[in-house]
Amino acid sequence: MLVWAVGARDAVVVLTIAQLVGNGSRVLLNRQDVNTAILRRFALGAIPLSLLGGLLFASTPSTVLTRLLGAFLLAAVIWRHTSPTPMRRPPLARFTWLGAIFGFLSAILGSAGPVMAPFFLAYGLVKSAYIGTEAACTVVIHATKLAAYRSGGVLAGSAALVGLALAPVMVAGSWLGKRLLERTPEHVFVLLIDCVLVVSGVLLLVRG
């Protein structure tokens, strides 16, 4: 929706600012359960590759970014449904590599949340531990991306203002989502998310 409203390049910047605040609020709401060992390992890989991805983003044509985002959304759904075996618990050291991969993807595509989730869940994080730890790792990525976007000259004032305007909504959504999640059947939640990702991915690929 942001791509259609403000264009692919500004959409990523707006999303980064809004998600930085939104994920920060989830960290605060679940701060007692954040796994700091994972956070430290993840940050080691995420910071340098988020910077690299952010600088590359500044020089990539908008049409290419839009289609990459569409392909990414579809790939996330396909990968999750076609994985042949349940994912094994990843060793702690692997989160450095995961941070590098997802930091780079997030800088180019706006967010890597759909494919980050299985690794945190496979490690054994559930409920507030999962939400708080994943959000803390995402905060590291988004803060680093903003520094790269500013260096690359794509952190426009108008995009920053839109992102800040969305911030209170993100905080309210975090608060409301924490309460609604407990009442939503898992299969219904997963189905809704899959439908949104597939429809959005197809439209972004077709329209460019």
pLDDT in tens, 81-112: 776 666 678 899 999 999 998 898 888 776 67
Higher-pLDDT residue of 12, 99? 99
Nearest to 40 by CA among 117, 133, 148: 133
Predicted confidence at residue 10, as pLDDT, reads: 74
C-alpha torsion sign, points 130, 133, 136, 142: negative
Cβ atoms of 62 and 13 closer than 8 Å: no
pLDDT band at 56 (very low <50, low <70, confident <90, very high): confident
Q: What is the DSSP string of 20-34?
A: HHHHHHHHHHTGGG-
Predicted confidence at residue 36, as pLDDT, reads: 93
Give the H or E element holding residue 163.
helix 157-180
Determine which of 25-39, 58-72, 98-112 has the lowest per-residue pLDDT on average: 58-72
Predicted confidence at residue 34, as pLDDT, reads: 92
Cβ atoms of 36 and 99 closer than 8 Å: no
Higher-pLDDT residue of 46, 189? 46
pLDDT (average), residues 48-58:
84
Predicted confidence at residue 88, as pLDDT, reads: 78
User: Tens digits of per-residue pLDDT, 148-165?
Assistant: 877 766 666 666 777 777
Distance of CA 37 to the CA centre of its chain: 20
Please state the domain extents for the chain.
2-207
Q: How far apart are the first and last CA of the chain?
A: 13
What global pTM score does this model have?
A: 0.69
Tokens of 121: 């869940």
pLDDT reading at 206 higher than 70: yes
pLDDT reading at 187 higher than 80: no
pLDDT reading at 186 higher than 70: no
Task: Tell me the C-alpha distance between 156 and 171, whole Å.
Answer: 23
Task: Tell me the C-alpha distance between 134 and 130, whole Å.
Answer: 6
Task: Tell me the C-alpha distance between 192 and 180, whole Å.
Answer: 14
Task: Tell the residue number behind the tokens 């203002």, with chain if given.
Answer: 161
